[in-house]
Chains A and B, each alone.
Chain A
Amino acid sequence: MKISISSDPLLSKIGPEYFFSLASEAGIDGVDLSLNFFDWQQIKNRDFSSILFDYDKSIEYAEMIDEYCRKYDMEILQTHAPFPTWYEGYPDEVNAKLTQSLINCIHITKAVGSKYLIVHPYFYSFSSDRQNTNPEIQHELNMKMYGNLIPALKETGVICCSENMWLPERRFIGKGNIYSAMCENPYEVNKLIGDLNELAGEELFGFCLDTGHCLLSGYDPCKVISLIAPTIKTFHIHDNNGIDDEHVYPYMGITDWDRFCKAVKDMGFKGHLNFEVGGCFDRFTPDALKRDKAMDIASFRMIMTAGKMFVEKITGEPYKKEGKE
C-alpha cells in the first residue's frame, strides 16, 4: 500500500525541485498533484489565462512534473482539479470553459501516469442562499457537469472521483459553523456515482472520501466508509477540530484513527493512502521565502510515519516500499 501527499499549497510556494526532493528524502511514494490554478474571482472576472484553458500548455506542465517524478523516483498517484467546476447561472460559454479545463486536467492526469482525477461536485455555496435549491437539482447539475467528461475519461482511462463537500453559512463565515454540502450524504454519493457509471456504460467514476470534511459535516467517516465502500477509489486523509477545515496531521484533531484504519481494512481497500495536510506546512513554516529545511523534512517524515503506521494497521503487515505501477 503506497503513501502520498497532496502538493497543495506547498508545491506552488516552494517550487517543484524543493518539493519533490523533500518528498523523496522522506520516503514518500507519491503525490496528489494539485491543479488548482484558478479561483472563483478569476472566473467572475472572465480571466481564462490559466494554463488549464490551453491543452498544449497543460501537457507541457504535465511533462515538467513527469520529469521531476523521474528524477526523484516518485509517482503522481492522483490529481486534483481546480474549483469551481461549474457555475450555475453563468453564461454557457463560461461553463464550457470550465468543462474544457476539466478535460485538460484529465489529459494531464493521463500524461503524468496517474489513474485518478478528483473533481469537486457542483454545490450551492452558502446555505442562506439555499431557498432556490434542492438535492435533486444539484444531482442533475452534477450529472451534466460530470457527464461532459465521459468522452475524455473513455479516451484516457482516467477515473474521475467526486468528493464530499461542506459549506459555511454566510452570516457565520469566520465563526466556524458549517453545514454539509453535496456528496456528504452517503445516499447521494451512491446515487450520483451509480447514475454516472450507468450513463457512461462503464466504471469511469468513483469517490474520494475526505475524512476531514466528514467531521465538519457531522458524519462519522467510519460509518460513511461502510455505506459507500464500493465507490471509494481514493482518500483525502486529514484531521481537524470538527469546526474548521484545518487540514492538519492525523492525531492533531478529533478523528478516531484506529477506527478509521479498521474501517479501511474492513472495506478491503487496495489503493493508496493520500494525506491532504497542507494546513500543517503553513503552521510550521509560514514564510515560504524563509524555509527551514530541517523543519520541512521533519514535516514530511511525520506524514510518512503516520502513513506507515496506518498501512500496518490496515494490512496487518509492516509498510514495504513497492515499485512504480
Chain B
Amino acid sequence: MKLSIQTKPLEPRYGLDKTLEIISKAGFDGIDLNLDLYGKCSETFEKGDYSSLIFDRSASEEYAYKLKELLEKYNLECLQSHSIMPSYYLDETMGRMAIEAHKNAIRICGIVGCRYITMHPYYSNLIEEPISEEEEARVNFGILFPALFDSLKENNVTACLEDLPCNSKKRTRSFRAILTVPQKAIKYVETLNALAGEELFKLCVDTGHLVCTSSIPYDYIKAVKDYIGITHIHDNDGLHDQHLLPYTGFTNWDQVCRGFSEVGYDKDDQNLSFEVFPIPGKLPDDLVQPYYNMANAVGRRLIDKIVNQIF
C-alpha cells in the first residue's frame, strides 16, 4: 500500500516546491493535491472573481506541468487530488464556472498521471437549509456529474464521491449529510456509472466524517467494499470534524484497519491518504517537518496493520 498526504495547508504557506520537499523528506509516497485551494467559495464565487488558475485552461495546464516536474524531482506521485468545494451552485454563472473548474482540475490530474479526484456531490452543509433527495438527484445526476463524463474519460480519471458531514448553525455537533449511509453511496456510484456507460465513479471513504457522524467505519467499509476508490484518513472526538492525526481522537483504528483488510483494500497500488490539515496550519516553521515525519510514521503503522492483519 501507498501513503499520501494532502498539500493543504503547506502549499499556500511555502509554495509547491517546499511543500513537496517536506512531504518527500517525511517519507510519504505521494500527495493528495488540494485543487480546492484554487476555487474557494468566499474568495472566488461569492466575489465573482474567477482569476484563479483553476478557471483558466492554459494557466491550469502550466501549473500541472510545473507540478509534474517537481513530483519527479522529489520522487513523489500524485496519488489523488481534491476538486473545488462546494462543487456546484444553482446560480447560472457560478454553476457554469464550477463545472469549468472541475474540468480543469481533471485535466491537471491527467497531465500529472493522477488517477483519482475526490468530488463532493451537490448537497447542503447546514441542517437548517436542507436540500430534498429529489433536488440532490436532479443536480448530481442531471447536471453536475454528466457534464464531467467526457473529461473523466479523456483524462483516464476516476471521480471519487465523498461521504460528508453537515453542521447546525449553532455548531452543536456534526450530522450526517450526503453519502454517510452506505445504501445511498452505492446508489450514487451505480447510477452515475450507468449514466456514463462505464466505470468513471467510485467512493472516497472519509473515516473522520464517518466517526464524527456516529457511523461505524468498519460497517461502512464492509458495505461499500466494491466501490472504494480512495480514502481520507483522519481522526476526531466523535462529534466534530476536526481532521486530527490518527490516534489523537476517538476512532477505533484497529477496527478501521480490519475493515480495509477484510475487503481487500490492501493492494500495492491502493492508498491511504491523510487529511490532517488544521494542526500543521498552526505550527511554527521548525515544527512542521517533525509533524509530517510523525504523520508518516502513523500512516506506516496503519498500513502495517492492514497489510499484515495486526489488529
Contacts and interface: CB of A to CB of B under 8 A. Distances in A.
A166 B214 contact: yes
Nearest to A181: B216
A171 B252 CA distance: 9
Contact of B216 (A171, A179, A259): A179
Given A131-B258, A166-B214, A219 B175 contact: yes
> B132, B180, B237, B252: which has the most chain A beta carbons within 10 Å?
B252
A219 B176 contact: yes
B130 interface: yes
B128 A254 contact: no
Nearest to A191: B183
Given A134-B222, A187-B181, A218-B213, A177 B237 contact: yes
A178 B213 CA distance: 10
B250 A172 contact: yes
A238 to B, nearest CB: 16
A223 B173 contact: no
B127 interface: yes
Contacts of B258: 131
B225 to A, nearest CB: 11
Contacts of A179: 214-216
A256 B255 contact: no
B271 interface: no
B265 interface: no
A229 to B, nearest CB: 12
Contacts of A171: 252
A220 B176 contact: yes
B252 A127 contact: yes
A133 to B, nearest CB: 8
A259 B168 CA distance: 12
Interface in B203-244: 212-216, 218-219, 222-223, 237-239
Interface string A168-179: 010110000111
B25 interface: no
Nearest to B250: A177
Interface residues of B, number: 34
A259 B126 CA distance: 13
Contacts of A227: 133
A27 interface: no
A218 B184 contact: no
A130 B218 contact: yes
B214 A217 contact: yes
Nearest to B209: A218
A216 B218 contact: no
Contacts, number: 87
> A135, A171, A218: which has the most chain B beta carbons within 10 Å?
A218
A200 interface: no
A256 B129 CA distance: 12
Nearest to B214: A218
Contact of B219 (A134, A217, A241): A134
Nearest to A188: B183
Given A128-B255, A134-B219, A135-B223, A185 B183 contact: yes
Contacts of A152: none
Contacts of B130: 220, 222-223, 226
A154 B255 CA distance: 42
Contacts of A121: none
Given A222-B130, A242-B172, A127 B183 contact: no
Contacts of B218: 127, 130-131
A186 interface: yes
> B174, B181, B213: which has the most chain A beta carbons within 10 Å?
B181
A134 B250 CA distance: 21
B214 A216 contact: yes
Contacts of B255: 127-128, 130-131
Given A134-B222, A218-B175, A243 B181 contact: no
A131 B254 CA distance: 10
Contact of B184 (A135, A187, A226, A254): A187
Interface of A: 127-128, 130-131, 133-135, 166, 169, 171-172, 177-180, 184-187, 215-220, 222-223, 226-227, 241-243, 254, 256, 259
For the complex of A and B, the 8 pairs showing the least CB-CB separation, nearest first, are: A218-B213, A218-B214, A254-B172, A242-B173, A177-B238, A187-B183, A220-B127, A217-B214
Interface of B: 127-128, 130, 132-133, 165-166, 168, 170, 172-176, 180-181, 183-184, 212-216, 218-219, 222-223, 237-239, 250, 252, 255, 258
Given A135-B219, A256-B128, 9 more contacts: A128-B255, A169-B252, A177-B250, A180-B215, A218-B175, A218-B214, A220-B176, A223-B130, A226-B132
7 contacts: A128-B252, A131-B255, A166-B214, A172-B250, A216-B214, A218-B173, A218-B215
